[in-house]
Structure 1
Amino acid sequence: MLLEVKNLRKDYKRATQQFSAVNNISFSMAQNDFISIMGKSGSGKTTLLNMIAGLLTPTQGKVTINGTNLFELDDKQVSAFRNQYLGYIPQGSSLLPNLTALENIRLPFSLTKRENQSSLNYALQLLEKAQISYLKDAYPANMSGGEMRRIAILRALICQPQLVIADEPTSDLDEESSAQIMALLADIHQQGTGLLIVTHDNDVAGYSQRTLKMSSGRLID
């Protein structure tokens, strides 16, 4: 099994009260799965993704990827594991404004011991495959929202992860840009990469094989 989420919970305190942003969630996905998670704003979707990506420590439960429990690793080990196995696409604009598209895509390689020339060649291949080679030397300030999102997706792919996690990958995009983003993600999945996305858009969820719904921190039928 590629991913196993078991009894995952994240508690927060608000004034004198405690509440669970994510409340006892369990599910699993195989290597060839494409799963979407839907729910209203505040339902806990992003908190759930951040725990699965190892960016947030749960109050309870575990996340196992390829047999490794993320929360048995220290911070340095989690970062190295995430860099090797996961591609994470956060919500909104996440590119560094002082780097070109090509430099942004290659950024994760700064955390690895892989040869830089290898990352350059692969980044150029990704740009060509996504049909945006013309953006190679462009800075984020000169890109559209859809172009920046595609660069963020390619950055998530540069280390050839087994699982790509995307938080609202089409938010704030027009219909044409959204379709381009989802076509790119669908192609990634068809090549054998597991895909887990959070969305509030039924059309986006329609690309996935399976849809999970969240409400008040829980998965619902």
Structure 2
Amino acid sequence: MNDIARHIVVSGGFDDIRCRDIRFLHEASKLGPLHVLLWSDECVRAATGRDPKFPLSERQYLLDAVRYVHRIHPIEKPSDPHVLPAVATVQPRTWVVRSQDDNPAKRAFCDSLGIQYRVLSEKDLTGFPDEPASANASPSRKKVIVTGCYDWFHSGHVRFFEEVSELGDLYVVVGHDANIRLLKGEGHPMFSQDQRRYIVGSIRYVTQAL
């Protein structure tokens, strides 16, 4: 079987990406190199009836920084969300979906083309696994440490990590819930330290989130 037939595929808008989205990508990537069919702004509008919060270029930039994603394929024209849009360089082996997105139409589509269909349940996505330090860490490089809350993660954080990682192996210390509450007041953080540390650690420019 050649490499083009071994792709694991997910499809969607991935707008305003959150920890649950990263968990989904993480688990899907365990099946093989993960290819994301990323909907354009027009596709998001057609599927949801509203504009995306973030444009395609920003969504693609953030997703491309996620270490579990092998390659992104922007999908320009709206199509039936219950089928995989045709991409010349992708011949899926497995289409992975979340349980809330599972439906008979998707199953029938996969059956008709001999594509494996994998549904990830809520149980599959529980917890926030601690990632070891990146295998790319080098004893000969400087160790760079940054700190922060990273409470509502966005592309600006990714850009910061990308730039700082040029200085050496990047270790990110994520603020403890109690410290952030003291700093910002009640109602903060919006996301737990486990969630924030997990999403920071998913970024390929980060050697390790602490």
Task: Compute the TM-score of the two structures, normalised by the length of structure 1.
Answer: 0.24
Look at both structures and tell me which one has the larger radius of gyration over its CA atoms.
2
Q: Which gives a bigger RCO, structure 1 or 2 (Cα 8 Å, sep 6+)? A: 1
Greater strand proportion: 1
Q: Could you state the TM-score of these two structures normalised by the residue count of structure 2?
A: 0.25
